[in-house]
């Protein structure tokens, strides 16, 4: 038996079908568009750790990369193990330039690592990463002085406040200040660029002018890069630097770039000199144009 349809019956069915399918198609297209517009993952770049016996050797290697000060968009992926012995006899301009160039690749690499970890945490928090390794999350919590047993959302939120970049300009200014542009005893003998302490005599160097009754040592590091990573962890997890992390979080929330001059205000407890120390760091940033460093990447 032949079934006859009335005129206009097919268009009505098609309209109903489209009405049910179209929202799903739009949602899929929107999801696809959002994913294509999201920046791709940042992958950490391992540095080539190298040792040099003189400033001339370092300058020759940097010259082959066209690596001068101020830098262009790329810096060589080289981590110099220890400062050369003749930093203190260099002319002031060369000493500043060489010190900044030695340190900068390590700063860029550490910030790149933090961005990668941060993207992973944001993926879990947003639901884009449904399955992840709990061991990795637990290791991050321990490394950044958080309780791994915290509820997942709270743990991720707290980690995102801690695993974030430190502007290169702020790092360079503090390293120059604390190490005397790489000429201090502790920067040369212990690879300690930031004046960090320890209470374990096996890991430290006895300060020559330690006050009577004090028990601290200046921490010894196996390389300059170890000192840089310890400094980053200190600022990102130490209780004394909550003001720094709050300032940084506020900048992130407002969509502002991280300003090293403003963030220096969060380091009021870094030195016993308090606000005088902060003002000194801010002045070093401005005088050396460290607040004008653009985005930097590593090149092999």
C-alpha 70/C-alpha 137 separation (Å) is 37
C-alpha 127/C-alpha 140 separation (Å) is 19
Task: Tell me if residue 123 falls in helix, strand or coil.
Answer: helix
Residue 36 in domain: no
Looking at the predicted structure, is the pLDDT value of residue 9 above 80?
no
In degrees and rounded to multiples of 5, residue 298 shows phi and psi of -100, 140
Note the pLDDT of residue 214: 83
Note the pLDDT of residue 42: 53
Number of domains into which the chain is organized:
1
Residue 231 in domain: yes
Residue 6 in domain: no
CATH assignment at residue 99:
1.10.530.10
Q: How open is the CA angle 142-148-151, to the nearest 5 degrees?
A: 150
Least confident stretch, 131-140, 142-151, 173-182: 131-140
Note the pLDDT of residue 67: 97
C-alpha 146/C-alpha 148 separation (Å) is 6
CA atoms within 13 A on the CB side of 289: 8
Residue 141 in domain: yes
Residue 232 in domain: yes
Question: Cβ distance 187 to 180 under 8 Å?
Answer: yes
C-alpha 64/C-alpha 78 separation (Å) is 13
Residue 14 in domain: no
Note the pLDDT of residue 222: 95
Note the pLDDT of residue 139: 96
Residue 17 in domain: no
Can you give the residue range of the structural domain that contains 153? 48-299
Note the pLDDT of residue 19: 55
Secondary structure (DSSP) of 216-257: -EEEP-SSHHHHHHHHHHHHHH-GGGHHHHHHHHHHHHTT--
Which pLDDT band, with edges at 50, 70 and 90, does 22 fall under?
low
Average pLDDT over residues 208-232: 89
Looking at the predicted structure, is the pLDDT value of residue 29 above 80?
no
C-alpha 92/C-alpha 153 separation (Å) is 50
Residue 188 in domain: yes
Provide, for the chain, the percentages of residues in helix, strand and coil under a 3-state DSSP scheme, each rounded to the nearest 5. Answer: 55, 5, 35
Question: Cβ distance 232 to 110 under 8 Å?
Answer: yes
Q: How far is CA 184 from the centre of its chain?
A: 25
The mean pLDDT of the chain is 87
Token pair recorded at residue 293: 């460093």
């Amino acid at each position: 038996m032949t079934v006859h349809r009335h005129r206009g019956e097919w268009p009505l069915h098609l309209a109903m079908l489209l009405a049910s399918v179209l929202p799903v198609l739009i949602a899929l297209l929107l999801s696809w568009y959002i994913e294509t517009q999201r920046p791709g993952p940042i992958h950490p770049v391992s540095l080539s750790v190298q040792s040099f016996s003189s400033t001339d050797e370092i300058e020759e290697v940097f010259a082959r990369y066209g690596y001068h000060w101020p830098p262009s968009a790329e810096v060589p992926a080289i981590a110099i193990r220890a400062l050369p012995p003749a930093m203190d006899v260099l002319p002031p301009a060369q000493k500043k330039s060489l010190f900044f160039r030695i340190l900068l690749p390590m700063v860029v690499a550490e910030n790149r690592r933090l961005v990668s970890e941060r993207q992973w945490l944001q993926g879990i928090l947003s639901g884009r990463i449904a399955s992840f390794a709990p061991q990795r999350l637990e290791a991050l919590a321990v490394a950044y002085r958080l309780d791994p047993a915290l509820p997942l959302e709270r743990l991720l939120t707290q980690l995102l406040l801690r695993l974030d970049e430190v502007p290169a300009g702020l790092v360079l200014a503090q390293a120059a200040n604390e190490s005397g542009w790489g000429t201090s005893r502790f920067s040369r003998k212990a690879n300690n660029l930031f004046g960090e302490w320890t209470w374990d005599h096996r890991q430290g160097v006895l300060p020559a002018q330690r006050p009577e009754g004090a028990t601290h040592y200046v921490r010894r590091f196996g390389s300059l890069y170890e000192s840089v990573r310890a400094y980053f962890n200190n600022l990102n997890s130490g209780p004394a630097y909550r003001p720094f992390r709050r300032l940084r979080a506020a900048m992130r929330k407002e969509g502002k770039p991280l300003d090293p001059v403003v963030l220096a205000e969060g380091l009021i407890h870094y030195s016993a000199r308090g606000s005088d120390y902060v003002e000194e760091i801010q002045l070093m940033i401005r005088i050396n144009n460290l607040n004008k460093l653009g985005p930097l990447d590593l090149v092999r």
